[in-house]
Amino acid sequence: MGFPFRVDARLVSALAIFLPALFVAGCGTSVERMDTAEVKDLSGAWNDTDSRLVSEEMIQDVLSRDWLLEFTRKHNKKPAVIVGEVLNLSHEHVNVNTFTADMERALINSGKVQFVASKGERGEVREERKDQDIHAAEATRKPMGQELGADYMLKGTINTILDTSGSSQVRYYQVDLTLIGLADNVKAWVGQKKIKKLVKRGNLRY
Amino acid sequence: MRARRGIVTFPLLAGPLFAAMLLFAGCATYSDSFSVIENDMAAQRFEAALQELERQRHPARDQVVYLLNKAMLERMKGDFTVSNRTFEAAKSRMEELYGLSLREQALSVVVNDATRSYAGEEFERVLVHLYIALNYLQLGDLTNARVEALQVDERLREITQKLPQNRYTEDALARYLTGMIYEERGEYSDAMIAYRKAYEAYREYRRKYFVDIPDTLKRDLLRLAQQMGLTGEMQQYQNEFHITHWMSTAELAQQGELVFLLHDGLAPIKREHAVTVVDPASGHLVRIAVPYYETRPTPVNRVRVMAGSSVASAEVAEDISAIAFKDLETKMPAITARALARAVLKAQMAKAARENARQQNQNNAGAAVAAMAVEIAGVVTERADTRSWLTLPSRIHLARLPLPPGNYAVKVDLLGDDGRIVSTREYANIVLRRGAKTYLSLHWIPPYVPTRRSR
């Protein structure tokens, strides 16, 4: 069993120098502070920039529409909103809390809308109220059954469409948010944000 | 002194090859180190198995297998949330390994295949999504399970694009599970598509792995075809399956449903098959090492699930052993070709080293030792790549029991070939809610005889 071709000794030597160099390559951890508005896309997946773009668009839209004015005129008070579920129908595990929290903050700070604690948040508050009933002084005790009922519920969905070929992929995200009147199921506002990205995966790595 | 000088004069080859030898050949192949963990799993000591796994050394190139095994053990322990976090880490590591590394390709030709980063076989990459989805389902998180269902679809599409038709390009159980997720959410058209794809995949499975279409899937197809008014398709299924009665969507919505999955045994383990011979023409040592799968048989033949007054038999829904065997079979030509190329290159390096030693000085013992070292290193570093996701089960059995909503005590009997009970498991207080599915998983690993070491 002989070998069909020869390998030059110099080539082998060159390989020999090259090989050990491969084992020692390495580097320490480095941390760099970034501005939160800076765009940095690493994997192409949903990230902080997408969340920020969605909240910016939605906030701007929800505050500029007629529903707010109409409600205030009709009822002579600020509408109270509760955050419902934003259904993630996308192919990624997206954290929807970031932009719903952004929206909540912007709406409250605008002074035009009130927010009531959502389903997840109010449990602990109610617990505390129950506790006050037994332990708190009469003057400071908060009675039960005095919660502010919401006028609207903020609900939404995130959907995605992917188109992949080889190492390129087009990712399309669509976020839809709606404000639904709790009294009459009427949709008072619908906001939409679309995001499209072209992601190319490297065919080579270290 | 002379010997020292010899090595110094010819350090170029001996140095790195020795280094490579120390790095890769000092230890046994990957799969050999797993028997302790296997025994712990058989005794249902998942915490101990996890500790043993943590204790072992996991170089960066084995990160994916390490994470997969870790996540699976966490799942067996019942830590579904923690398990999913680890699975996600495995997934992103796999994603990082998408590109081709020239450095690793070079190493795999010069040293061995195990020096490459392990990114998972295709079927392992799909099963990651299946297990993440199951974790979510067992946590009762249908929305996140749906996210995984979409990822299954995406992953299978990617594999189909890349591989020829005769390879593993569809996963029947993964498709089936995505169908169940969509149906529970009331997304009937998506569910129908998933069930159809599962049906197609099971037809392939029957041909390739002798796994039949589960009876429950036949009923799902009939129910949804009826629900969506696809009369022609419904009749076609009816003629094919010879089923006349099934539960309609409305009837099923009034019931709760128990979905039981038995993760039976362990997937086959890769071992090394190596041949070392002296090449008569040149007098060089030549070694070729390739992997092969060793089955880890399981005694379970039938699974009986009892809840309330209902009894159901679980059906084999996925034969991971069969898939793994077939997968390695189709990859073997490429693995063998690489092993041969390596043998050629290593022999040439050894030859070059010898000639160099001869040219340097006839009496220089150091150079001769160095040349010998190159040859030995070349032989010793020839190891097969025996890495695989070792905590995967050999087979997955599936049973579905539609029952009136309520609290149930569930009993599961695992029966052997002779119909005798191999093992029994009881669950108290399984809650079935109206119109919802309750998922229950059992990982059962038979006590294996201590695994053989490869030669």
- In this prediction, residue B14 carries a pLDDT of 54
Residues 397-416 of B with CB under 8 A from A: none
Choose the most confident range, by mean pLDDT, from B271-285, B377-391, B399-413. B399-413
Q: Check CB contact under 8 Å for B146 and A89.
A: yes
Q: Exposed (0-12), middle (13-18) or buried (19+): which is B3, by Cβ within 10 Å? A: middle
Mean pLDDT of B339-344: 86
In 3-state terms chain A splits into helix, strand, coil percentages (rounded to 5) of: 35, 30, 35
As a whole number of angstroms, the distance between CA B194 and CA B179 comes to: 5
Q: Check CB contact under 8 Å for B161 and A167.
A: no
- In this prediction, residue A2 carries a pLDDT of 42
Looking at the predicted structure, is the pLDDT value of residue B2 above 70?
Answer: no
Q: Which residues of chain A make contact with B146, given a CB cutoff of 8 A?
A: 89
Chain B residue closest in CA terms to A87: B143
Domains and CATH numbers, chain B: 2-213+254-444 (1.25.40.10)
Chain B residue closest in CA terms to A22: B103
* B373, HSE (Cβ side, Cα atoms, 13 Å): 22
Mean pLDDT of chain A: 85
Q: Check CB contact under 8 Å for A16 and B19.
A: no
Q: Check CB contact under 8 Å for A20 and B12.
A: no
As a whole number of angstroms, the distance between CA B87 and CA B213 comes to: 29
Chain B residue closest in CA terms to A157: B143
Contact between residue B171 and residue B123 where contact means Cβ atoms under 8 Å apart: yes
Looking at the predicted structure, is the pLDDT value of residue B325 above 80?
Answer: yes
Mean pLDDT of B425-431: 93
Contacts of B276 (CB under 8 A, 6+ apart): B285, B286, B287, B379
Mean pLDDT of B235-264: 93
- In this prediction, residue B29 carries a pLDDT of 66
- In this prediction, residue B356 carries a pLDDT of 79
Closest CA to B318 of B40, B124, B48: B124
Contacts of A40 (CB under 8 A, 6+ apart): A34, A47, A49
- In this prediction, residue B26 carries a pLDDT of 43
- In this prediction, residue B64 carries a pLDDT of 94
Q: Check CB contact under 8 Å for B147 and A9.
A: no
Give B7-20 as a DSSP string: HHHSHHHHHHHHHH
B226 near A CB under 8 A: no
Chain A residue closest in CA terms to B356: A9
A24 near B CB under 8 A: no
Cα R_g (chain A), whole angstroms: 28
B340 near A CB under 8 A: no
A19 near B CB under 8 A: yes
Contact between residue B276 and residue B36 where contact means Cβ atoms under 8 Å apart: no
Looking at the predicted structure, is the pLDDT value of residue B173 above 60?
Answer: yes
Q: Which of A7, A202, A204 sits opposite B102 (nearest CB)?
A: A204
Residues 56-75 of B with CB under 8 A from A: none
Q: In the 8-state DSSP scheme, what is residue B329?
A: H
Task: Indicate the range of A12-21, A39-48, B4-13, B130-139 predicted with least confidence.
Answer: B4-13
- In this prediction, residue B332 carries a pLDDT of 92
Q: Which residues of chain A make contact with B143, given a CB cutoff of 8 A?
A: 87-88
- In this prediction, residue B85 carries a pLDDT of 96
**Which residue out of A87, A93, A160, A167 would a mutagenesis test of the B interface target, given it has the greatest number of B Cβ atoms within 10 Å?**
A93
Which structure tokens are listed for B355?
A: 């000639």
Looking at the predicted structure, is the pLDDT value of residue A64 above 60?
Answer: yes
Check residues B17 and A69 and name the one with the higher pLDDT: A69
Q: Which residues of chain B make contact with A89, given a CB cutoff of 8 A?
A: 146
- In this prediction, residue A10 carries a pLDDT of 60
The single-letter code of the amino acid at B309 is S
pLDDT tens sequence across B142-162: 999 999 999 999 999 888 888
Check residues B5 and A140 and name the one with the higher pLDDT: A140
Looking at the predicted structure, is the pLDDT value of residue B250 above 80?
Answer: yes
- In this prediction, residue B33 carries a pLDDT of 74
Check residues B218 and B58 and name the one with the higher pLDDT: B218
A21 near B CB under 8 A: no
- In this prediction, residue B158 carries a pLDDT of 87
Check residues A28 and B205 and name the one with the higher pLDDT: B205
As a whole number of angstroms, the distance between CA A107 and CA A114 comes to: 8
Mean pLDDT of A30-45: 85
pLDDT tens sequence across A92-132: 888 888 888 888 888 899 898 999 998 888 889 999 999 99
**Chain B: closest CA distance from residue A61 (Å):** 28
Looking at A93-160, list the stretches that DSSP marks H as alpha helix, in order from N- to C-terminal side. 97-109, 119-135
As a whole number of angstroms, the distance between CA A36 and CA A178 comes to: 27
- In this prediction, residue B452 carries a pLDDT of 46
A90 near B CB under 8 A: yes
Q: Check CB contact under 8 Å for B161 and A165.
A: yes
Contacts of B150 (CB under 8 A, 6+ apart): A90, A91, A160
Contact between residue A122 and residue A150 where contact means Cβ atoms under 8 Å apart: no
Q: Which residues of chain A make contact with B279, given a CB cutoff of 8 A?
A: 1-2
Contact between residue A82 and residue A115 where contact means Cβ atoms under 8 Å apart: yes
Q: Check CB contact under 8 Å for A22 and B103.
A: yes
A7 near B CB under 8 A: yes
As a whole number of angstroms, the distance between CA B353 and CA B370 comes to: 8
B275 near A CB under 8 A: no
The full 3-state SS of B147-194, as one line of letters, equals HHHHHHHHHHHHHHHHCCCCCCCCCHHHHHHHHHHHHHCCCHHHHHHH
As a whole number of angstroms, the distance between CA B183 and CA B179 comes to: 6
- In this prediction, residue B207 carries a pLDDT of 92
As a whole number of angstroms, the distance between CA B10 and CA B17 comes to: 12
As a whole number of angstroms, the distance between CA B319 and CA B263 comes to: 10
pLDDT tens sequence across B89-136: 999 999 888 878 888 888 888 888 888 889 899 999 999 999 999 999
| Cα separation values, B415 from A14, B32, B211, B299, B444, Å | 62, 30, 19, 8, 12
Q: How confident is the model at residue A5 (pLDDT cuts 50, 70, 90)?
A: very low
Residue % of chain B over a pLDDT of 90 = 57
**Which residue out of B154, B346, B374 would a mutagenesis test of the A interface target, given it has the greatest number of A Cβ atoms within 10 Å?**
B154
Q: Kindly give the pairing relationship between strand B256-264 and strand B437-444.
A: parallel
Q: Check CB contact under 8 Å for B16 and A88.
A: no
- In this prediction, residue A4 carries a pLDDT of 44
Q: Check CB contact under 8 Å for B150 and A12.
A: no
Residue pointed to by tokens 């020869």:
A6
Strand, helix or coil at A137?
Answer: coil
- In this prediction, residue B21 carries a pLDDT of 52
Q: Which residues of chain B make contact with A3, given a CB cutoff of 8 A?
A: 282, 344, 347-348
B359 near A CB under 8 A: no
- In this prediction, residue B265 carries a pLDDT of 92
Q: What number is the ipTM of this complex?
A: 0.72
Mean pLDDT of A72-88: 91
- In this prediction, residue A24 carries a pLDDT of 47
As a whole number of angstroms, the distance between CA B358 and CA B261 comes to: 66
Q: Which of B100, B106, B277 sits opposite A203 (nearest CB)?
A: B100
Q: Which of A2, A15, A88 sits opposite B110 (nearest CB)?
A: A15
Q: Which of B16, B88, B282 sits opposite A19 (nearest CB)?
A: B16
End-to-end CA distance of chain A: 36
Q: Exposed (0-12), middle (13-18) or buried (19+): which is B98, by Cβ within 10 Å? A: middle
Strand, helix or coil at B197?
Answer: helix
Q: List residues bridging with B425 in a β-sheet.
A: B412
Which of left, alpha, beta for A61 (phi over 0: left; psi -120 to 50: alpha)? alpha
Mean pLDDT of A151-179: 91
Q: Which residues of chain B make contact with A92, given a CB cutoff of 8 A?
A: 147
B290 near A CB under 8 A: no
Residue % of chain B over a pLDDT of 70 = 91
Q: How many residues comprise chain A?
A: 206
**Chain B: closest CA distance from residue A69 (Å):** 35
Domain ranges of chain A: 48-86+94-155+176-191
Contact between residue B454 and residue B271 where contact means Cβ atoms under 8 Å apart: yes
